[in-house]
Structure 1
Amino acid sequence: MSGSKSSVPGAAAPSPEQADAPLSFTVHSQPQPGAMAGAANAQQRAGRLRMLLVVAVCAAPVLASYFTFYVLQPRGKAYGELITPTVDLPPSLSLQDLRGQPVPAESLKGQWLLTLVQDAHCDSACERLLFMQRQLREMMGKERDKIDKLWLVPDDQPLRPEVLAAVSAGVPVTVLRAPRAQIQAWLKPAEGHGLNEHLFLIDPMGRWMMRSPVQPDPSKVKKDLDRLIKANAGWDKPGR
């Protein structure tokens, strides 16, 4: 009806004091840019920490095995000479098989490598070392599948047929040619000796880590291999 005042049914009329009071508003604070950036940085740091923890967990067995062998050295001193620090396989090492086909250096990783450096003509001393290399692998029993035999040939002369037949019998020796200078930049003989007098041990990550004495005793070399493979049992698996 004209002239009447509208009101909400049941609502009490405001008092004169309430009617005259100014209206008030509540303003909620907004996130500050600095606080948002700080939270993002904290999340980033937490993510990096988690990643580092994962890497540490994965690397722990490898680090523990090397600490055990190099520092604690269980059951006495190593027979061979430990190389400290280890020497990484050069990625630029120019390898070729006997057919002249290039072989990537990275393909050598994944196995323990009993390595010899011998000229292609392979004299009687070379033949004895090749025989010892074969016997050592067989002496490892159930662990032998973790070990490969490698012969690095630092020249381009043909192998004698009888030698080639011997290294191809059974589980064949991996025979690869490489420039002499490149091999010498990676592997080193004992002072006063030549590369062809030693057996070199390369670990599954491609690192030269042990050199046998001249005219090595196979049974003593085997003890070193036993210790190494046992120390690495948590991460070292058969086959490449």
Structure 2
Amino acid sequence: MNKRPASAFPTWAILVAIAGVFVLPILIAALWYMNVNQWGVGRTTNYGHLITPPIQLHIEPLPLIVGHGHLMSRYFRGRWTLVYIGGSKCTPDCRAALYATRQIRLALGEDIRHVQRLYVVTGEPQKLGFLEDEDPDLTIVRAEGAKGKRFIHQFFKAADAHLGGRIYLVDPQGHLMMSYPAAVNPHGLMRDLKRLLTVSEIS
């Protein structure tokens, strides 16, 4: 019986190489942002507020307001996420922010599948039913009780964060990387997002 030739590389090395194909692009993007100031790329190229170092977010099983169930533990994995945190009632500023993030996502064309949107309501939801018809791709959760406070607190660790009224950008590994004012410039956020999609080689 002929023996199969031994592989030139051990099995563990092959597995590491395969894993690297999927993980390395995200690590490169995170490393780029963590060292952005050292590399001479700062606020002159980023529209949003850069959060350094990025904050690893931990998912809490927050209840969905539209639909059934709760936020899954791997919700942030595999996609860039635009997160809006607002109060119990979606004010005109809230509507404008959600509309801006929706239009930005739609404008991505084929890359739309790499971006999702999350609206976190910090109080008792009031009259949000209109979003089910106007914004069907928007995930809406309620940050209630101790779990809600823990989840929200992670976002407020950012240097410029304050209670509500912010848009946040989370990477596909669940790192909070950037934040924007509610009255966001869509072109600026779009530019940041496209650059990240390119750097991470997701697009």
TM-score range, shorter chain: 0.7 to 0.9
Which residue of structure 1 lines up, in the alignment, with residue 62 of structure 2?
A: 95
User: Which amino acid is the alignment partner of residue 183 of structure 1?
Assistant: F
Deviations 1:45-94 (A, max 9, x none): x9798489648844433333333444344995211111111111214x13
Over 3 Å counting, the alpha-carbon distance change for 1:153 and 1:75 in structure 2 is: closer
Over 3 Å counting, the alpha-carbon distance change for 1:51 and 1:76 in structure 2 is: farther
Alpha-carbon contact 1:68-1:74 (below 8 Å) kept: no
User: Which amino acid is the alignment partner of residue 164 of structure 2?
Assistant: L
Q: 2-side partners of 1:142 and 1:100: how far apart?
A: 29
Which residue of structure 2 lines up, in the alignment, with residue 145 of structure 1?
A: 113
Bigger RCO of structures 1 and 2 (CA < 8 A, at least 6 apart): 2
Deviations 1:18-44 (A, max 9, x none): xxxxxxxxxxxxxxxxxxxxxxxxxxx
- Work out the number of aligned pairs and report it: 185
Q: 1-side partners of 2:43 and 2:153: how far apart?
A: 33
Which residue of structure 1 lines up, in the alignment, with residue 54 of structure 2?
A: 86
Structure with higher helix content: 1
Which residue of structure 2 lines up, in the alignment, with residue 25 of structure 1?
A: none
Over the aligned positions, Cα root-mean-square deviation in angstroms equals 3.0
Q: 1-side partners of 2:96 and 2:15: how far apart?
A: 48
Alpha-carbon contact 1:94-1:178 (below 8 Å) kept: no
Deviations 1:138-167 (A, max 9, x none): 122221211111111122334333344222
What is the deviation of 1:184? 2.8
Residue 83 of structure 1 aligns to a residue whose secondary structure is strand
Q: 1-side partners of 2:133 and 2:15: how far apart?
A: 50
Deviations 1:188-216 (A, max 9, x none): 266484322x2100111111111014522
User: Which amino acid is the alignment partner of residue 143 of structure 2?
Assistant: A
Quick check: 1:195 aligned with 2:185?
no
> Quick one: which of 175, 180, 184 aligns to 2:140?
175
Alpha-carbon contact 2:93-2:182 (below 8 Å) kept: no
Over 3 Å counting, the alpha-carbon distance change for 1:182 and 1:50 in structure 2 is: same
Quick check: 1:65 aligned with 2:29?
yes
Structure 2: stretches of 5+ with no match in the other structure: 1-8
User: Which amino acid is the alignment partner of residue 63 of structure 2?
Assistant: Q
Larger deviation, residues 206-215 vs 152-161: 152-161
Quick check: 1:205 aligned with 2:173?
yes
Residue 156 of structure 1 aligns to a residue whose secondary structure is coil
Q: 2-side partners of 1:201 and 1:151: how far apart?
A: 12
State the structure with more CA Rg: 1
